[in-house]
């Protein structure tokens, strides 16, 4: 399995990450619905999903941190 390095973020871009874990009892449709809701209402986007051997889904969400720049 090849490892793909990510392109470095643009200069000045900062990300906030949130890790969410779903047990195997949650159906795929429910997980999708919950993640869509977080994306629509919180501004989160999917960074990665890992499904472990026991069926647990580990999801990493991210969103940009926008810093206000003071003007003169």
Tens-place pLDDT, residues 6-47: 555 566 678 999 999 999 999 999 999 999 999 999 999 999
Q: What is the CA radius of gyration of the chain?
A: 16
CA distance linking residue 25 with residue 36, whole number of Å: 19
User: With left for phi above 0 and alpha for psi between -120 and 50, is residue 55 left, alpha or beta?
Assistant: left
Is residue 25 situated within a structural domain? yes
Is residue 5 situated within a structural domain? no
Is residue 29 situated within a structural domain? yes
Number of domains into which the chain is organized: 1
pLDDT of residue 1: 34
Is residue 70 situated within a structural domain? no
Whole-prediction pTM: 0.74
Is residue 56 situated within a structural domain? yes
Is residue 7 situated within a structural domain? no
pLDDT digits (tens, 9 = 90+) for 40-72: 999 999 999 999 999 999 999 999 988 777 887
Helix (H) / strand (E) containing 31: helix 28-42
Q: Which residues fall within 8 angstroms of residue 20, CB to CB, at 6 or more apart?
A: 35, 38, 58, 59, 60, 61
Enclosing domain of residue 44: 14-65
pLDDT of residue 3: 42
């Amino acid at each position: 399995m090849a490892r793909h390095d990510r392109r470095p973020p643009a200069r000045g871009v900062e990300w906030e990450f949130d890790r969410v874990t779903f047990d195997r009892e949650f159906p795929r449709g429910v997980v999708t619905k919950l993640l869509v809701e977080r994306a629509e209402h919180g501004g989160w986007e999917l960074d990665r999903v890992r499904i472990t051997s026991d069926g647990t889904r580990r999801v990493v969400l991210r969103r940009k941190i926008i810093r206000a720049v003071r003007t003169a």
